[in-house]
Amino acid sequence: MQHFQLFIDGAFCEGATSQTMTTQNPATGQDWATFACASAQDVDRAVGAAKRALDDPAWRGLSQTARGKLLYKLADLIEANAEHLGRIETTDSGKLLAETATQTRYVGDYYRYYAGLADKIEGAVLPIDKPDMHVFTRREPIGVVAAVVPWNAQMFLTATKLGPALAAGCTVVLKASEVAPAPMLEFARLIAEAGFPAGVVSVITGDAEGCAIPLTRHPDVDRIAFTGGPETARHVIRNSAENFAVTSLELGGKSPIIVFEDADLDGAANGLIAGNFGASGQSCVAGSRGLIHRPILKALIERIAEKAAGIVVGDPLDGTTHIGPLCTKAQVAKIGDTLAKARSQGATIHFGGAPLERDGNYMAPTLVECADPDTETLKVEMFGPVMSLLPFDTEEEAIALANHSDFGLGSGVFTRDLARAHRVSSRLRSGICWVNTYRAISPIAPFGGFNQSGYGREAGAEAVLDYTRTKTVWINTSEQPMANPFVMR
């Protein structure tokens, strides 16, 4: 089996305790690789290297433009190795190669975007209300960043943290999920090849006790950028009380897609399929609460069923496959339990509803029609290809149903009425709203949520400022020495 090592302080290595874990190929259910696990000692070494690199002239002494050039080089390497990284990610997580390779290739543009911003991080001269004072601000790197990334969109969710952090001049310890970490550990080779000085980026993985907890509570960590589930996020926040690290959270979702009766049915059906069956439903912005204007519910279900009949579930390395396996068996079991409860609540399953009888973690694409907003499939984030539809009668009801959630990450609106699109999107409590489309991303557009979907934003120009601290500099320009020391000036 292939073996993947940790990347600490510019070198590949085993963990201090020699602990390893095995990862399975979700398409076959068979072990395919092993990887080294970090212990608290390894975490301390990675954070120590990051702290040292902050003050090392090899990194600190680089101009902002030179940092940008390193990011441009990394972007080119990612693009050139997109197919290779995509195959590893597909083998390790079960995501379609068509998506992993394409997404990895596009991720290069995130690094290029932040490369271009590296020398646009500016301070300001303040029109201060004091005579004989020249006062200005400057943006300085916030320090050592702990970037914690889940398995389901690794290259994308790494880029939204690593790109702005490096552009700002920070150093980063990247913690990959212990579920399917292989692509992140392989990605470290490109970081080394790009020429980043030792210690600027380390890539580690491991369990909570040995790796995640020591990292997020480490006294030398200045910022935590976390993507994952709400329950884990609560532990991260508690850990950050030990170091007062600035923390941003990009968490889960239970996103609504509202389809009004004037919507293009074909476009709406495609939007719902993209939002629920795209990435096999393993997406934090999955639009798993379809809210449908009652007059078109039956016609839309028929259109979705017609399209779903042509969906190919199979080998994620096969270019003709639309839905691959789920990453873990636990997801399949959770979906089964959730669907069973939904049935007991009176929900109707129009197609799917069961795992496929084959090797691997395969779940049939499933459509559930719900009569009640408290149906279990409308409440639980399942991370699988399950679409739930609920009818509504008025615009006000649709908005109320959409906002009836603890989450607030993504949302969608399908309508031909431009005024309605503006009106409804402005009232949805979500960080992202797609109108007549779904699941579109860009390095230019901020990404993040409300409520239990977290706080802070990733991507966009402002994200780079989240990896800086503002320093205010006062210069006395008077020819006279400083006067009375007992009076605040």
Note if 250 is an active site residue.
yes
Backbone angles phi, psi at 99, to 5 degrees: -90, -45
Would you give the distance in Å from CA 89 to the centre of its chain?
15
User: Of 395, 433, 328, 382, whose CA–CA distance to 95 is shortest?
Assistant: 328
User: Alpha-carbon distance 230 to 233, whole Å?
Assistant: 5
User: Alpha-carbon distance 375 to 368, whole Å?
Assistant: 10
User: Alpha-carbon distance 169 to 156, whole Å?
Assistant: 20
Q: Which of 89, 99, 186, 250 is catalytic?
A: 250
| DSSP sequence for 154-212 | HHHHHHHHHHHHHHHT-EEEEEE-SSS-HHHHHHHHHHHHHTPPTTSEEEEE--IIIII
Antiparallel, parallel or unpaired: β 223-227 and 144-149 = parallel
C-alpha torsion 96→101→102→105, nearest 10: 160
On whether the CB atoms of residues 328 and 26 are closer than 8 A, the answer is yes
Residue type, 341: K
User: Alpha-carbon distance 139 to 123, whole Å?
Assistant: 6
Beta bridge partners of residue 392, listed in sequence order: 293
The SS3 of residue 391 is: strand
C-alpha torsion 312→89→409→396, nearest 10: 0
H/E segment holding residue 2: strand 2-4
User: Alpha-carbon distance 476 to 462, whole Å?
Assistant: 32
On whether the CB atoms of residues 107 and 156 are closer than 8 A, the answer is yes
Which residues are annotated as catalytic? 250
